[in-house]
Structure 1
């Protein structure tokens, strides 16, 4: 029996076609040659096609498993944010207010990659269009998640099929990887360019110094910047003007070289090794917390701002009204506008209909609660009337205990 026939032998169709009883009745009977091939074709046609994210954008994401591809495909608005930023309250408000009507994708990107996400088109690769490309992207995805390089290099004759051209950087992409981004301007100074970007200051973060738990400065609840004059910081002194001024004489005599090109996580590992100290926003110190390290606020330093940034549309090429309305809706959420605010993408009629629907839902819940309460009161009254009040009390307590168990 062929492999295709054996794979379908368990199905009713295959059994009826290859039944030995039919051959015994009619020796000239033979199954159609393509009988099992049709079954395989139908099965393969039902298999969904898996789409992959371009390796360059996959490497940009902080936690790829937190951003499923279907979310990117369905989303009409995408907002990226750098590590240690906590935008959950704004995202939750969006989901509560708009739900499934307007899909929002939350894009966690790596350090200082917020602006990059604004200037690339979303690049999804369909293996059906290029199977070799799909396999190479899957390999790159597995390598990115495991932190290892692909085990095998592509063959020379398939280099063009497996390699992906770099994604072009555009001022305002038509379908961007992220429409807006929450960034730290001290890490991405270009975000302060008012001619290229709109920017809203969301909040300020307190500067803290990360140090080993057995460091002498841990005896202080707050460290004056002057106490750091003879401490080696694992960052350029020019980034912290107050420290640069008070430590100039010590740095000139010490002559120590500051490491470059390290991420926050790698630099904090050097702090744990006793190489030096590190000044960061408090959220970063909490995000990369370790048991052998602690942090203290630093007095005399400027706070770290956090901004919401999005590109300005080129002159003569305005955004579509739909996208502009969505951007304004998200701006309204981060600025604290309520759902009944006059500003936003909803028309007055749509807003009135939504509010009426919400009120009707609240009334329906209240009526259901009243009906349940009346049913309990009626049952209790009947129990008392029939002299079974004690039995009714026991049954009510048992039912309440069961409900609490289900909630747990």
Structure 2
């Protein structure tokens, strides 16, 4: 009897596909990875200028430097102001904000006090008053006290002093020039003494004299994002601090 072919009687042996190749196992369906949607570009800001007013003697340099670092897309223009017309400049919109000297009519204004300035006595460089580090009202007895028309301190009680026999100078610079020539003394905030510094004049702090307050002011109804940014810089807020 003929024998059956080898292996022909094995049960459970896998059947081969035609040609002897094994059938590949079906692959699991894969979903395509969705592409990330790019973020929309930030809206481009239109070039603009922030106008900052400043009265004589103001020193906003450090705040301007911070502005230029933080707001390079917004130019800052420094606009010189006179104390006598500082409020009118703000009201007329000539500046977006201003460093002003108090007192000022605060109606319709926002005002932030910045610092107080010491009053000093400006005297001729060869005056005997320069022999001390600071002066008192008593030290000025017998002196002619010149008050310029653009005075910002207001009346100061200086018993025993004399009024000049000539018309008041128009400006503080004129008054200091007169003092440097050897006529009288003038009392001003320290920043103005520094602003109008001369080799032939010196100044000394006046003890117990009223101080002069410097402040930041702007029109309340024109509080723009740029104004708020400058206020944040003045108050020392970081770039990401909330207002």
Choose from 183, 186, 191 the match for 1:278.
186
Aligned residue for 2:230, secondary structure, equals helix
Structure 1 consecutive aligned stretches of length 4 or more whose deviation exceeds 4 Å: none
The answer to whether the aligner puts 1:262 opposite 2:170 as a matched pair is yes
CA RMSD of aligned residues (A): 2.3
Where 2:198 maps in the other structure, the secondary structure is coil
**Is 1:93 aligned to 2:66, yes or no?**
yes
Q: Distance in 2 between matches of 1:332 and 1:87?
A: 14
More strand by share: 2
Unpaired stretches in structure 1, ≥5 consecutive residues: 1-73, 121-175, 314-318, 344-408
Structure 2: unaligned runs, 5 residues or longer:
1-46
The answer to whether the 8 A contact 2:146-2:164 is kept is no
Superposition deviation, residue 119 in structure 1: 3.0
Aligned position for 2:233:
333
CA distance in 2, matches of 1:181, 1:85: 10
| TM-score normalised according to structure 2 size | 0.72
CA contact (8 A) 1:234 1:258 kept: no
1:258 to partner: Cα distance: 6.0
> What does 1:162-173 align with in structure 2 at a 5 Å threshold?
none
- 1:112 pairs with 2:84: yes
Distance 2:207 2:154 in 1: 16
Q: What pairs with 1:135-150 in structure 2 (closer than 5 Å)?
A: none
Partner Cα separation in structure 2 for residue 106 and residue 115 of structure 1: 16
Contact 2:101–2:212, Cα closer than 8 Å, also in 1? yes
Cα deviation for residue 286 of structure 1 reads 1.1
Q: Match of 2:217, SS?
A: strand
- Over 3 Å counting, the alpha-carbon distance change for 1:268 and 1:241 in structure 2 is closer
Which residue does 2:157 correspond to in 1?
A: 242
Distance 2:48 2:143 in 1: 48
CA distance in 1, matches of 2:165, 2:112: 36
Q: What is the deviation of 1:261?
A: 5.6
Judge conservation of contact 2:114–2:215 (CA < 8 Å) in 1. yes
**Aligned pairs, number:** 194
Considering only CA atoms, is the larger Rg found in Structure 1 or Structure 2? 2
- Distance of 1:263 and 1:241 partners within structure 2: 18
What is the alpha-carbon distance in structure 1 between the residues aligned to residue 54 and residue 236 of structure 2? 19
Alpha-carbon distance in 1 for matches of 2:201, 2:211: 22
Question: Deviation at 1:80?
Answer: 0.7
Write the distance in 1 (CA, Å) between the matches of 2:165 and 2:238: 51
